[in-house]
Amino acid sequence: MATAGPQRIGPFEVAADRIDQLTVVLHRGTLLRSEVDVERTVVGDPSVCRLVPLTSREVSIVGEAPGATHVTFWFDGGQHPPLRCLVRVVPTGK
């Protein structure tokens, strides 16, 4: 029985098929710590949140405006697949 490989769309391999969610409070940072070095990141809509790299294994996600956007993380060494995260920024008290 063959195992399913990564999903493909034309010449592209879908990098992240699992989506995790994270809620961040407006104008506050949420610290994320990784077990491995974070190699690369991308924020879909930088007006919603920004990433502040602190070390090779720590990043803070800061809420810039209410809304939601996707953030993708790639990890060093290739042992962990890219992680796609839906970040929701909410006002204080929500």
Q: Which residue has the tokens 């939601």?
A: 68
Q: What is the pLDDT of residue 2?
A: 47
With respect to residue 23, please indicate whether it lies within any of the assigned structural domains.
yes
Q: What is the pLDDT of residue 58?
A: 92
For 74, the domain range is: 14-90
With respect to residue 84, please indicate whether it lies within any of the assigned structural domains.
yes
Q: Into how many domains does the chain fold?
A: 1
Q: What is the pLDDT of residue 80?
A: 85
With respect to residue 82, please indicate whether it lies within any of the assigned structural domains.
yes
With respect to residue 6, please indicate whether it lies within any of the assigned structural domains.
no
The CA distances from residue 34 to 1, 5, 9, 42, 48, in Å, are 34, 25, 29, 16, 22
Q: Choose among 72, 71, 70, 80: nearest CA to 37.
A: 80
Which CATH number covers residue 63? 2.60.40.1080
Q: What is the pLDDT of residue 1?
A: 45
With respect to residue 4, please indicate whether it lies within any of the assigned structural domains.
no
Quote the pTM value. Answer: 0.79
With respect to residue 7, please indicate whether it lies within any of the assigned structural domains.
no
Q: Point out the residues of the chain with pLDDT beneath 70.
A: 1-19, 93-94
Residue 73 pairs with which residues in a beta bridge? Answer: 41, 83
